[in-house]
Amino acid sequence: PTSVRLAVIPGDGIGPEVVNEGLKVLNAAVGNEVSFETTEYDLGARLWHKTGETLPDSVLAEIRQHDVILLGAIGDPGVPSGVLERGLLLRLRFTLDHYVNLRPARLYPGVTSPLAPHVLENGLDFVVVREGTEGPYVGNGGAVRTGTPHEIATEVSVNTAFGIDRVVRDAFRRAAARPRKHLTLVHKHNVLTHAGHLWRRTVEAVNAEFPDVTTDYLHVDAATIFMVQNPGRFDVIVTDNLFGDIITDIAGAIAGGIGLAASGNINPDRSAAPSMFEPVHGSAPDIAGQGKADPTATVLSVGMLLEHIGLDKAAQKVEQAVAEDLAARGDRVRTTSEIGEAIASRLA
């Protein structure tokens, strides 16, 4: 049996609870076929309170030695906003060059969407390829005249031809592999003229290499309207880091809630760095430790993780087990571990 080195970062709030269930399902899905060497890293609010550190260099170097990473959630009301986000989550995404932030949105049978049935006539099954290493997330900014009425704060969005080209190519590859073969660029080129045109030109240029993929363009504001009025029009969406952050929360909401939304922070070159899989939701401190969190988003992220490391059969089994669980779910309220166990037992 092959062996996979898995780094697990449970993180804050509900992170450890949902990760626990994700690992249960992972073990049930792979059986004896593959052995997982798991290392757990206690990063997040606890470490920061104890030592003031978010991600020590030595820990980052260790994490890098793994094949893949599973992360629960990062964020805590007792830590100043941005400290853990920048110092831990974004640092991992940036240093491991997770330029493809992959966020599928699919309405599973049995799941209730807040959208009216007629809006869902064309289905809801799309995937957002969110750029993960650039945009306004890079921290290229600052403030002057701080605390005065004339304070100026800037947050410069970084868009490189290299960074756009590689993520657009990835999105085209994914679109070409799907039945509908359609790619939508979401941006705001009527206002963000510099970056917007670079994105647009890149999509046009790469499209020449993928002639069977059809493309269109939406401004991000219009995209939010379509997302709630005709989500079936979307197949693959490619967009920048911040627009992608925003529209994937809408995507999660319309596909049955953020408790089901999975994601991968992917570096497609598996030999370059480990990719990291995590639920789209946050640490939800208000319900932490109560067994109320839905672990399904983490379980689906485990499915994406398995696919990324080439365990396609196990990945499909996980998705199938989740689909069955969702179809059978009804209105009964179950605890975090009840849901995890129900899904895992479908894999046994």
By the criterion CB under 6 A, which residues form the site for ligand IPM?
75, 85, 89-90, 245, 280
Side chain identity at residue 124, one-letter code: L
- Select the residue whose beta carbon is closest to ligand IPM and give its number: 85
Question: Is 221 among the residues known to form the active site?
Answer: yes
Minimum distance from residue 245 beta carbon to ligand IPM (Å): 4
Question: Is 97 among the residues known to form the active site?
Answer: no
Helices and strands (H and E) in the chain: how many: 12, 12
Minimum distance from residue 249 beta carbon to Mn ion (Å): 6
- Check residue 208 and report its DSSP letter: T
Minimum distance from residue 319 beta carbon to ligand IPM (Å): 21
Question: Is 188 among the residues known to form the active site?
Answer: yes
Question: Helix (H, G, I), strand (E, B), or coil: what is residue 128?
Answer: strand
42, 221, 286, 312: the catalytic one is 221
165, 181, 217, 249: the catalytic one is 249
- Secondary element (H or E) of residue 26: helix 15-30
Query: How far is it, in rounded angstroms, from Cα 317 to Cα 88?
Result: 31
- Select the residue whose beta carbon is closest to Mn ion and give its number: 245
Quick one: which of 245, 278, 294, 325 contacts Mn ion (CB under 5 A)? Answer: 245
| 108 versus 137: smaller Cβ distance to Mn ion | 137
Q: Does 278 bind Mn ion (CB under 5 A)?
A: no
Side chain identity at residue 52, one-letter code: G
CB 141 within 8 A of CB 156: yes
Query: How far is it, in rounded angstroms, from Cα 249 to Cα 130?
Result: 12
CA distance to 75, 97, 117, 140, 254, per residue, from 124 (Å): 30, 30, 11, 36, 9
Q: Does 67 bind Mn ion (CB under 5 A)?
A: no
CA distance to 108, 196, 198, 254, 334, per residue, from 296 (Å): 12, 35, 37, 16, 12
* Residue 344 binds which entry of ligand IPM, Mn ion, none, CB below 5-8 Å type-dependent: none
Stretch that binds Mn ion, among 213-221, 240-248, 264-272, 295-303 (CB under 5 A): 240-248
Residues that bind Mn ion (CB under 5 A): 245
Q: Which residues are catalytic?
A: 137, 188, 221, 245, 249
